[in-house]
Amino acid sequence: MTRLAPLLLAACLVVASAAADPLVKVVNFTAAWCPNCRVLDPRLETAVSEYAPDEVELVDIDMTDLRGKGEARKWELVQQLKVLTEFHRVGYLWDWYGGHTGLAIMVSADTGEPLTCVTRKFTSDEIADRIQEALVLTKYGPAGQRRPNGPHCPPPMRPQ
């Protein structure tokens, strides 16, 4: 049964995707035990709530259960989080930041292209401004070249 969990998650995600994708996804690496997340998460929710669901979607990559679990359960949870990131076309973000928390990356939903990042240093208004910038880049920038000088994100935190 535990081996079926990632497949069941993927099936549920496909059904949930029947609605149109938003223009921008805010991919939030979070966990209940993360002090930076306790500051960032409510600010993200406030900023995202200013936009329509067809414009912006908040995607939480919740790593709360990765701590204090046995290795087998931890591996299963990691596989589920990888499926979730792949579903949202941002599997590379797991490769870059998986296991790290307190960081949200705004990506173009059509390509998964990273546009900008925010941390607890940003206020709700500043996050909303970054979301607006990401929307403009997604609407008017050519895919794959929306942020030619890079997305202003930290370098990958996991060895490649």
Domain boundaries, the chain: 2-9+23-140
CA distance 26 to 131: 8
The class level of CATH for 2-9+23-140 reads: alpha beta
Residue 5 clears pLDDT 70, i.e. is over it: no
CB of 102 within 8 A of CB of 119? yes
Could you read off the pLDDT of 114-137 as tens digits, one per residue?
A: 999 999 999 999 999 999 999 999
> What global pTM score does this model have?
0.84
Are 49 and 129 a contacting pair, CB within 8 Å? no
- What angle is formed at CA 133 by the lines to CA 34 and CA 14, rounded to 5 degrees? 65
More confident residue, 30 or 146: 30
Task: Report the mean per-residue pLDDT for the chain.
Answer: 87
Residue 159 banded pLDDT, cuts 50, 70, 90: low
pLDDT value of position 15: 45
Compute, in degrees rounded to 10, the torsion defined by CA atoms 10, 56, 94, 73: -50
Other beta carbons less than 10 A from residue 97's beta carbon: 23
**CA separation (Å) from 155 to 38, 71, 90, 103?**
23, 27, 16, 12
pLDDT exceeds 80 at position 95? yes
Q: Report the C-alpha gap between 127 and 51 in whole angstroms.
A: 12
Q: Between these two residues, 90 and 1, which has the higher pLDDT value?
A: 90
Distinct helix (H) and strand (E) counts, the chain: 5, 4
pLDDT at residue 72 is higher than 90: no
Percent of the chain predicted with pLDDT > 70: 86
